[in-house]
Chains A and B, each alone.
Chain A
Amino acid sequence: MFYFLRGLIFASATFSIIMFCLSFKITTQAAMALAYFSGIVAFLVGIGAYRCFKQWLYGEKDAETHKEEIGWKRYFQFTLDHKVIGVQYLVTSFVIFIIAVTMASIMRLELARPEMQFLSFEQYHTIMGMHGISMIVVALIAILGGLGNYFVPIMIGAKDMAFPRLNALSYWILPPAVILLVSSLFFGGFDFGWTAYPPLSVQGPLGKLSFLLAFITVGFSSIFGGVNFMTTILRLRAKGMDFFKLPIFVWSVFSAGIIVLLATSVVASSLILVVFDRAMGTSFFDPSRGGNALLYQHLFWFYSHPAVYIMILPGFGIILEILPVFSRKPLFAYKITAFSFIGIVILSFVVWAHHIFTSGMWDLLTIPFMITTELISVPTGVVFLSALGTLWMGQIRLKAPMLFALGFIFNFLIGGLTGIFNADVPTDLHLHDTYFVVAHFHYTLFGGVIFALFAGIYHWFPKITGKMFNETLGKIHFWLIFIGFNSTFLPMFWLGTRGMRRRVADYPPELGNVQLWVSLAAILIMCGVITFLYNMVQSSIKGTTAESNPWQAHSLEWQIPSPPPKENFEQLPEIKSLPYEYGRIPNRIL
């Protein structure tokens, strides 16, 4: 706790001093950018990162000089253990998740009736953008950073990640970013949603700059994580663990890592250009001074479309990890599924322009992008086939993780099928920027990624905490969220086809009744989230002690005590077979 507070004090002091000194010399925008990045460095020094890196650089021994506190205090310190970092990621993402849920509730209150209730347009837009970017960050970091960090090294039989310091660094630059993002509310907010299209993002209050800087920081964190995951999976596998013996979750993290490495710096480039336009007076996105506003959208979506696969691929991984365990059958078509992950990765890089069919792009290019977008449903279909083939004639146990996995399959099917209408140029011209799109991406990201996150957390909760969660509360949580989610977002498809625009706070009165229904149904989601949080906190404190392998699963993480000891394995294991050898294969299925 001491290190964390010291970091915060260092950071805020540096930020204020530089901001104060420089704002007389240069523009406030440029001063803020410099002050923020210096603030991050100061935060890292305060938290103890500098010492840790110094030791590495000068070749001193870690154990002698780097002091790690014990117990819960480790979680507020520059700790190198990948399990601690995983939990840090998970808890942080739930803090951001709570912010996002609060923002969503305010939006639904405002949207419950036509006309404006209690917000101004600017406030509504800021709250909407805040909800958007918070959920994007949660979807990016919770599964990959949280569960990935915790379980990938254990699943491949390693003692830690390849670069423990880089791993801690990639987590610890997130808290300053989150603080800056939240504080942007006090710098005038940002009214461009989460996409920050210029020219809107180039003009206006300082809050927009905080958004951009925070986003760039998350990108950095993501890149560090990606480098780490790729190297870990390539290099630290246990003896005998060749690529086609990897658990499917590791495959999914590996595929997501490829996208992180290839795409994330491109979004950073687009945001850096906006920061330059704001702070340095350049003209990248100003057509009257030689720039091109559409350039931003191409750079932005070159990352941001593959980014949805960074979010969903680990989600697929979790689901395919859970289904064999709870239906007592081997994973169906393991190799083909692994290849289809790679197929998704390749295709995800050639579909980005389907976001800008209506932005004034060259018309001739729309058809190729439509075709590539629809092609991506082929490898995604293979993932579904694998999921359903695993369930087929299995002995299904409907525990909480399994319920969420099944809910994922249901929701993601709807999300995937409605994507076709957005990818088709003729229908997209009508549906673009309507609630149809809102419903579609909530079906894939909330119904998909967040359901997978819940499934993964229930599945691995006994391993992480060593305690058992309350199964009844878990089931209540599932049914609240599942029913609430579907009754909230299914009507939005209808709203979209009736012409309800997204990103607006006011709408025609004849849509009022359906909007009221949506707002009421969202209460169920709220109750579900509260049930979940209560269950997690209560069970991790007072839950009954869990056995090391409560689900009788075969993958490596269940073969060690819960919670895992510091270096995971007493002896590094040797792998002989796939982790999905559950009993017999039913007749004539394969």
Chain B
Amino acid sequence: MEEVNSSDSWDNVEIGKIGIWFFILTEIMLFGAFFSSYVMIRWGSSVCALGRTAWPQTGFKQGLILALLNTVILITSSFTMVRAYAGSGNRDESFFKKYLLATILLGILFLLIKSFEYALKIHHGYFPGSSFLETNPGLTIFFSFYFMLTGLHALHVMIGVCWNSFLFRSFKVSGFSGQLTSKLEYAGIYWHFVDIIWVFLFPLFYLI
């Protein structure tokens, strides 16, 4: 194995890691397209609500609090993910199991809070096509982007939760064998990416 193409720095990187980074690249372009569309429409058109003053006040504060809670949850889950990775690196079974399980549960908690927030918004009539928004094109397009982007993000969280659960089961079936550490690292890269997307989503939809 020594000196296989040592001039070539690519050879020191695992294949799966290169693949997952390329995949993240396409995801960045996907979310980038949506983000830039949102920014273009929000600041480029005359009808779309500019600034928080134009927004409805009913139910908005609750939404903000829930989103803030979700931000904390996701960032914590990124931390537990790193701990789980460290645990698998040290072959520390109970440590690993604890933190991977925490990551999965935090992801599920995020989804629950998110669906509660959706229900709240729909209850107040803040969704495109509702009779309440029919007279307000600015809010219609705002909530179009809101539901599409947060929905897509929630789908990514769901995939991440499934991925982590598969890894958990994989650990139950065959322990640390079968390169679990590398697979956990790929899942971790993806999970951090999903986290970062939320860090962009939160100010764009709740603060600015």
Residues of A at the B interface (CB closer than 8 Å) are 57-60, 162-163, 166, 223, 226-228, 230-231, 234-237, 239-240, 242, 261-266, 268-270, 272-273, 276, 280-284, 288-292, 295, 299, 302
By the criterion CB–CB under 8 Å, are A295 and B148 in contact? no
How far is A166 from B129 in the complex, measured between Cα atoms in Å?
39
CB-contacts of B105-146 with A (<8 A)? 128-129, 137-142, 144-145
Which listed residue (A235, A265, A276) contacts B148, Cβ 8 A?
Answer: A276
How far is A289 from B30 in the complex, measured between Cα atoms in Å?
24
By the criterion CB–CB under 8 Å, are A284 and B177 in contact? no
Are A265 and B178 CB-contacts (below 8 A) given A235-B18, A291-B144?
no
8 contacts between A and B (CB under 8 A): A59-B180, A235-B15, A261-B22, A265-B33, A269-B37, A280-B148, A282-B148, A284-B148
Q: How many A-B residue pairs have CB under 8 A?
A: 136
By the criterion CB–CB under 8 Å, are A290 and B45 in contact? yes
By the criterion CB–CB under 8 Å, are A292 and B26 in contact? no
How far is A297 from B135 in the complex, measured between Cα atoms in Å?
27
By the criterion CB–CB under 8 Å, are A231 and B148 in contact? no
By the criterion CB–CB under 8 Å, are A270 and B33 in contact? yes
B29 to chain A, nearest CB (A): 5
Are A234 and B18 CB-contacts (below 8 A) given A239-B5, A265-B30, A282-B148?
yes
How far is A230 from B25 in the complex, measured between Cα atoms in Å?
12
Are A266 and B47 CB-contacts (below 8 A) given A281-B128, A281-B129?
no
Using C-beta atoms within 8 Å of the partner chain, give the interface range for chain B. 35 or more
By the criterion CB–CB under 8 Å, are A295 and B40 in contact? yes
Annotate B172-192 by CB proximity to A: 1 below 8 A, 0 otherwise.
011001111001000000000
Nearest B residue (CB) for A162 = B15
Q: Which residues of A contact B5 (CB under 8 A)?
A: 237, 239-240, 242
Q: Which residues of B contact A292 (CB under 8 A)?
A: 40-41, 44-45
What does DSSP make chain B's interface, helix, strand, loop or mixed? helix
By the criterion CB–CB under 8 Å, are A261 and B25 in contact? yes
How far is A57 from B30 in the complex, measured between Cα atoms in Å?
27
A4 to chain B, nearest CB (A): 26
How far is A261 from B19 in the complex, measured between Cα atoms in Å?
11
Most chain B CB within a 10 A radius of its CB, from A59, A236, A266, A288: A59
Residues of B at the A interface (CB closer than 8 Å) are 4-5, 7-8, 10-11, 13, 15-16, 18-19, 22-23, 25-27, 29-30, 32-34, 37, 40-41, 44-45, 47-48, 128-129, 137-142, 144-145, 147-148, 152, 166-167, 169-170, 173-174, 177-180, 183
B34 to chain A, nearest CB (A): 6
A563 to chain B, nearest CB (A): 26
B113 to chain A, nearest CB (A): 22
Which listed residue (A60, A291, A299) contacts B33, Cβ 8 A?
Answer: A299
B207 to chain A, nearest CB (A): 21
Which listed residue (A234, A265, A268, A283) contacts B140, Cβ 8 A?
Answer: A283
By the criterion CB–CB under 8 Å, are A226 and B22 in contact? yes
Nearest A residue (CB) for B139 = A290
How far is A235 from B18 in the complex, measured between Cα atoms in Å?
9
Q: Which residues of B contact A265 (CB under 8 A)?
A: 26-27, 29-30, 33
By the criterion CB–CB under 8 Å, are B128 and A280 in contact? yes
Which listed residue (B30, B144, B169, B173) contacts A268, Cβ 8 A?
Answer: B30
A423 to chain B, nearest CB (A): 24
Most chain B CB within a 10 A radius of its CB, from A58, A263, A266, A280: A58
Q: Which residues of A contact B7 (CB under 8 A)?
A: 242
By the criterion CB–CB under 8 Å, are B137 and A289 in contact? yes
How far is A226 from B18 in the complex, measured between Cα atoms in Å?
12
> 5 nearest interchain CB pairs?
A59-B178, A290-B141, A281-B129, A290-B137, A282-B144
How far is A240 from B8 in the complex, measured between Cα atoms in Å?
10
By the criterion CB–CB under 8 Å, are B48 and A290 in contact? yes
Q: Which residues of A contact B183 (CB under 8 A)?
A: 57
Nearest A residue (CB) for B152 = A272
Apart from A58-B173, A295-B41, what 5 extra A-B contacts exist at CB < 8 Å?
A234-B18, A242-B7, A282-B128, A283-B144, A289-B141
By the criterion CB–CB under 8 Å, are A299 and B128 in contact? no
How far is A299 from B41 in the complex, measured between Cα atoms in Å?
13
By the criterion CB–CB under 8 Å, are A276 and B18 in contact? no
Q: Which residues of A contact B138 (CB under 8 A)?
A: 290
Which listed residue (A235, A239, A272, A290) contacts B13, Cβ 8 A?
Answer: A235
How far is A299 from B35 in the complex, measured between Cα atoms in Å?
12
Which listed residue (B8, B25, B178) contacts A262, Cβ 8 A?
Answer: B25
Nearest A residue (CB) for B175 = A59
How far is A456 from B128 in the complex, measured between Cα atoms in Å?
51
Q: Which residues of B contact A264 (CB under 8 A)?
A: 26, 29
How far is A282 from B13 in the complex, measured between Cα atoms in Å?
43
By the criterion CB–CB under 8 Å, are A59 and B10 in contact? no
A390 to chain B, nearest CB (A): 28
By the criterion CB–CB under 8 Å, are A231 and B18 in contact? yes
By the criterion CB–CB under 8 Å, are A231 and B15 in contact? yes
By the criterion CB–CB under 8 Å, are B148 and A273 in contact? yes
Nearest A residue (CB) for B7 = A242
B172 to chain A, nearest CB (A): 9
By the criterion CB–CB under 8 Å, are B177 and A59 in contact? yes
How far is A505 from B201 in the complex, measured between Cα atoms in Å?
46
Q: Which residues of B contact A268 (CB under 8 A)?
A: 30
By the criterion CB–CB under 8 Å, are A290 and B29 in contact? no
B79 to chain A, nearest CB (A): 25
By the criterion CB–CB under 8 Å, are A231 and B22 in contact? yes
Q: Which residues of B contact A282 (CB under 8 A)?
A: 128-129, 144, 147-148
Nearest A residue (CB) for B180 = A59
Q: Which residues of B contact A284 (CB under 8 A)?
A: 37, 141, 144-145, 148
B188 to chain A, nearest CB (A): 16
By the criterion CB–CB under 8 Å, are A276 and B144 in contact? yes
Which listed residue (B141, B166, B169, B179) contacts A291, Cβ 8 A?
Answer: B141
By the criterion CB–CB under 8 Å, are A234 and B178 in contact? no
A163 to chain B, nearest CB (A): 6
Q: Which residues of A contact B179 (CB under 8 A)?
A: 59
By the criterion CB–CB under 8 Å, are A299 and B37 in contact? yes
How far is A433 from B138 in the complex, measured between Cα atoms in Å?
33
By the criterion CB–CB under 8 Å, are A269 and B11 in contact? no
Which listed residue (A166, A239, A283) contacts B4, Cβ 8 A?
Answer: A239
